Amino acid sequence: MASTESEVALKFRFFQVYKDGRIQLFWPHWDKIPPYDDPITGVRSKDVTISSEPPVSARIFLPKLTNPNNHHKFPLLFYVHGGGFSMMSAFSPHYHNFCSSVSAQAGVIVVSIEYGLFPERRLPACYEDSWAALQWVASHVGGNGPEPWLNDHVNFKKVFFGGDSAGGNISHTLVYRVGAIGLPGVKVDGVILVHPFFGGTEDDEMWLFMNPIHGGLKDPKLKPPAEDLAKLGSERVLIFVAEKDDLNVAGKNYYEELKKSGWRGRVELIENHGEDHCFHLRHPTYETALQLTNKFVSFIKNDS
């Protein structure tokens, strides 16, 4: 008879659970690259520690300054990476390159968050880490926070949230929280959700397993109710869904429910036809990936 050490009790998309409680991630390791200054675009990047316990950090991207001595103010994009709540990193090449490109094209400071991942830190740690990071960013509103780039160069009246997949889900919870309780000195102009994860898919049970503190299939983080959607603290929302993505229907349902919720902002849905989940990160030079990035940028610049 096989021991419980080798018997699988549960199997999900990103990991499996053995009968002895051990959890095995299917993709446990991801490449990370250090921050660097891009000689072509002029975008600079650096890493900052937001909290040591729990460990929360971020990579900041600063667009090219025409005069290094001036205090030009840029919009800010608070970006939350995807990865099924259990993998990927703000420091991976995929996300570094995407955030650097958006920073250069949109002329926006990007704060890309490194939050706690399952199973080392079970949900709702990712939500709390991201909220703590957002509060850290907001601590610079008066120009006396710990990070000079944010003190000197952020226009806090033009802030955006963005995220893909799990990061889209987390971004929703952030903009809801801002709408519900506020974030003094910060005005959220828009939110961009790329192929966001919400309930109504085969991954629902995986999310519930990762989150021991949940409200079942109707948990507001999994399936946002109308009363939460109506409180979104943003004037605009842009949602991308991909035709071949398992999360396609969930993203469209979010769009429809948001329109019916009583929220007074403007929402737009774009479907990436013929594409799969987060294709733009894997193949950033494809025509459809460039179209997605261009729309992402134009939404921030508000010239779409």
Secondary structure E strands in the chain: 8-11, 15-18, 23-25, 44-52, 55-62, 74-80, 109-114, 154-164, 188-194, 236-242, 266-272
Q: Which residues pair with 164 in a beta bridge?
A: 194
The pLDDT, as a whole number, for residue 68 is: 66
Catalytic, 277? Answer yes
Q: Does residue 3 have a pLDDT over 90?
A: no
pLDDT band (50, 70, 90) for residue 303: low
Q: Does residue 22 have a pLDDT over 70?
A: yes
pLDDT band (50, 70, 90) for residue 71: confident
Buried b (16+ CB within 10 A) or exposed e, 205-221: ebbbbbbeebeeeebbb
pLDDT band (50, 70, 90) for residue 1: very low
Instruction: Identify the structural domains of the chain with CATH numbers, from first to last.
Output: 1-29 (no CATH), 31-301 (3.40.50.1820)
What is the pLDDT of the chain when averaged over all its residues? Answer: 95
225-271 pLDDT tens trace: 999 999 999 999 999 999 999 999 999 999 999 999 999 999 999 99
Angle between helices 125-138 and 166-181 (to 10 degrees): 60
Tell me the whole-structure pTM to 2 decimals.
0.96
* Active-site pick, 112, 165, 234, 261: 165
30-66 pLDDT tens trace: 899 999 999 999 999 999 999 999 999 999 999 999 8
pLDDT band (50, 70, 90) for residue 29: confident
For the record, the structure tokens of 298 come out as 């134009």
Catalytic, 172? Answer no
For the record, the structure tokens of 119 come out as 């199973």
* Active-site pick, 189, 219, 245, 280: 245
The stretch 69-98 carries a mean pLDDT of 95
pLDDT band (50, 70, 90) for residue 304: very low
